[in-house]
Amino acid sequence: MKKNDLVLLALKSLILEVSLYPKPGLVDPMDSGSHDDMDYNMFLESCFALVPGFEAYFDAGLNHRGTLPELFEVIRNVGIENEKAMFHATENVNTHKGANFLYGVVIAAIAFMDMPDLKTLREGIQAMTSGLVDAELKSLIVYKTHGERMFCDYGFTGIRGEVEAGIPHVFEVALPMLDSDNDKVVARKKALLALMQSNNDTNMLKRGGIEGLEFGKSRAHSPYQDLDEHLIQMNYEFIERNLSPGGTADLLALSIFIQMYRDQRLKDAD
């Protein structure tokens, strides 16, 4: 698989996530959920703005000659520049900050390890980010960022803990659900709900505290035969409470990306 092919899968996965309808409290083609500062078109602009950074993540991994933890330090600067590109495209609205971080780690790892299988990829992600929570959260005296404050207030390690654990919500929760239904759209909706049930989404915490997070988890239990009806009702409820599972949406997009990467890798091997 060439760089352009992998980057195209990354872009496609982001577009598939934002295009999924209906979703609770999230931006989609029909409405902006609980977000009055962004819409579907802005998300598309943001998706395309991230592409040069995705290419840079790949190049960084491909050309790296050190260790995986050293690679993580290399891609930090790429991530900062890609975040700037996102904010430029959205006029300083945060559409994909979390996704930029997640995709950077995964794309760089894939390139460095030369298109690994998923087990090896997950082990590489864990090795790349080992010690991240201790280094960036537990050692802090002053908590400034959203993620740092959520750790201070609730003890949740957020996106840092997720990558250090090898992104378990992708590999253990979402991927099995994405593979569970031949209808890919239905499978993605099921995966979103499964992620919402188990993920301590710091965006939900920021907007609704523990009560909001637990409300979202409880509502994510859905009778799948009434899936769209349930999601539409959830959207009304989330908008009323100003809740948005934005971190979970990032994990869904990444799960779609990794599923497509896995499937394309298997096709290339035939």
pLDDT tens, position by position, 145-192? 666 666 666 667 788 889 999 999 999 999 999 999 999 999 999 999
pLDDT confidence of residue 188: 98
For the chain, the domains span: 3-269
**What is the spatial distance between Cα 99 and Cα 83, in angstroms, rounded to a whole number?**
10
Least confidently predicted of 114-118, 180-184, 235-239, 266-270? 266-270
> Is 249 in contact with 47 (CB distance < 8 Å)?
no
Q: How many angstroms from the chain centroid is the CA of residue 47? A: 13
Alpha helix locations (H) across the chain?
Answer: 3-19, 40-49, 51-63, 68-90, 97-112, 118-128, 132-133, 146-154, 158-164, 168, 175-178, 184-198, 202-219, 227-241, 246-269
Distance separating alpha carbons of residues 191 and 168, to the nearest angstrom: 13
Average pLDDT of the chain is 93
Mean pLDDT lowest for which of 71-80, 92-101, 157-166? 157-166
Q: Which residues contact 16 (CB under 8 A, 6 or more apart)?
A: 188, 253, 256
Across 87-91, 149-153, 176-180, 251-255, least confident range: 149-153
pLDDT of residue 141 exceeding 50, the answer is no
Q: What is the token pair recorded at 244?
A: 């948005």
**Could you tell me the fold of the domain covering 3-269?**
Triphosphoribosyl-dephospho-CoA protein (1.10.4200)
